[in-house]
Amino acid sequence: MRLTLVLGAQFGDEGKGKVVDFLAANADVVVRFNGGNNAGHTVVVGDKTYKFHLVPSGAVRGKVCCLASGMAINPSVLVEEIEMLKRAGKRFKLLIDPRAQIIMPYHILLDGAKEKSARKKIGTTKRGIGPCYADRAFRSGIRFCEFIEPKIFKERLRAALPFKRRELASYGIRCPSEKKILKEFLPLARKLKSYEADVSLFIQKALKQKKRILLEGAQGFFLDNDFGTYPYVTSSHPITGGALIGIGIPPGSLERIIGVAKAYCTRVGSGPFVTELKGKLANFIREKGMEYGTTTGRPRRVGWLDLVMLRTASRICGFTELAITKLDVLSGLRKLKVCYAYKHCGKEHREVPANTFEVEKCRPVYREFKGFKLPEKIKSIKDLPKEARIYLRFIEKQVKVPIKIISYGPERKQTIFNR
């Protein structure tokens, strides 16, 4: 494993944190390249559960952890996570790219105000991610290198506040004062200043030194700002191209690109969901899979596995392998369904249409499978019931990508590598 990229292949919440923790055993460096604390990655080791929103999941194993330039960082949340890991006795090295954007209090207020006033809700986490990325595009954002220099930070804040006051006033909201923001943020800046480092340069040097690097994506392919179900998407690019830009590395560096997908599918917030289930079966899967947002606590919408989505994600991201998670949640069901095509106006689609409004009108074409019951002890794919192996082989055949990692429970040890 020289440079391995782990991406969500669905709508996020696929179990990337567990997969990254599993792979981090053989990594030297773990890098987050997109998003902010709208992400929620969970790692379970024995009786301890670690929930991350910013720090890469590799921190549990004491790896070098990097927050790259493509990220939006809430300093308060980051300090809380660092202190949580220190209390847990975890030692790790943290590097923060100077180009990363800082989420300000007015970003969070704007995020909530825009969502509340929208006629059609996007389903934002209201963590200020979208407004922060918007400021980056408008060239008015505050970067980490500016945030940690008090004089520059004050100048940048003073330049931004008049515009933010007017924008928030249009929603009837008062903007926090400069004094209040500085009182909260200057101590945070002092705590984080020592972590500054050029992550792009660090990774380039690490590659030359033959270090093993793991890239951890947040969110999932269909929340990508360009290729997802726009406008029901995030504000960054959780795809292969987004990783290259978000860190600052050339495409030839990538050795493995792992697409992570649940054995079924979930979505938080608004937007099309072709295989969505309702009623008792949906409630059963939601409760068994504990499908509630790590960041927001919101109940997730649930549905059958959608291979149309996986084909499109694989085509654009170039998956070299798949990791299937939460296979245990389907254990015990009498019958299972998998969507292998969409139908709309008499036409069959085997890839997700680019037009979101067309996707909303699509209907799933299913293949039905016999259910299975997983045994308590699983050491290899041979220990899986025949019906489970048939289910997994169908996924491989349809997506044309091998399944190399199978997760059948929340704990680190409940994972097998399919050779």
pLDDT of residue 118: 74
Task: Name the DSSP letter for residue 408.
Answer: -
Domain limit, last residue, from 146, 173, 194: 194
Distance of CA 224 to the CA centre of its chain: 10
Contacts of 162 (CB under 8 A, 6+ apart): none
> How many residues does this entry show for the chain?
419
Do 209 and 272 fall within a single domain?
A: yes
Residue 308 belongs to a domain: yes
Q: Do 216 and 81 share a domain, yes or no?
A: yes
Whether residues 319 and 190 fall in one domain: no
What residues make up the domain containing 336?
3-88+199-417
Q: What does 60-109 look like in DSSP terms, one character per residue?
A: GGT-EEEE-TTBEE-HHHHHHHHHHHHHTT---EEEE-TTPEEPPHHHHH
Same domain for 392 and 411: yes
* Element at 156 (helix H, strand E): helix 150-169
**With contact defined as beta carbons under 8 Å apart, do 240 and 7 qualify?**
yes
Rounded to whole angstroms, how far apart are CA atoms 310 and 307? 5
Catalytic residue annotation: 13, 41
Do 114 and 147 have their domain in common?
A: yes
User: Do 275 and 394 lie in a common domain?
Assistant: yes
**Do 251 and 128 belong together in one domain?**
no
Is residue 94 in some structural domain?
no
Tokens of 405: 């990692």
For CA atoms 98, 99, 101, 104, the dihedral sign is positive
Alpha carbon distance 324, 394 (integer Å): 13
Provide the CATH number for the domain around residue 267: 3.90.170.10
Question: What total number of domains does the chain contain?
Answer: 2
Q: Each residue's pLDDT tens digit in the chain (419 positions)?
A: 589 999 999 999 999 989 998 899 999 999 999 999 987 777 877 778 888 899 988 888 889 999 999 999 999 999 999 999 898 888 889 999 999 999 999 999 999 998 888 777 777 788 999 999 999 999 999 999 999 999 999 999 999 999 999 999 999 999 999 999 999 999 999 999 999 999 999 999 999 999 999 999 999 999 999 999 999 999 999 999 999 999 999 988 899 999 999 999 999 989 999 999 999 999 999 999 999 876 678 899 999 999 999 999 999 999 999 999 999 999 999 999 999 999 999 999 999 999 999 999 999 999 999 999 999 889 999 999 999 999 999 999 999 999 999 999 998 889 999 87
User: Do 162 and 204 fall into the same domain?
Assistant: no
380: its two tokens: 């290899």
In a domain, 84, yes or no: yes
CATH of the domain at 158: 1.10.300.10
User: What number of helices (H) and strands (E) belong to the chain?
Assistant: 13, 19
One domain for residues 216 and 248: yes
Examine the domain organization and report whether 280 and 334 are in the same domain: yes
SS3 248: coil
**End residue of a domain, out of 136, 160, 194:** 194
Helix extents (H) in 223-273: 240-247
Task: Supply φ then ψ for residue 45, to 5 degrees.
Answer: -125, 105
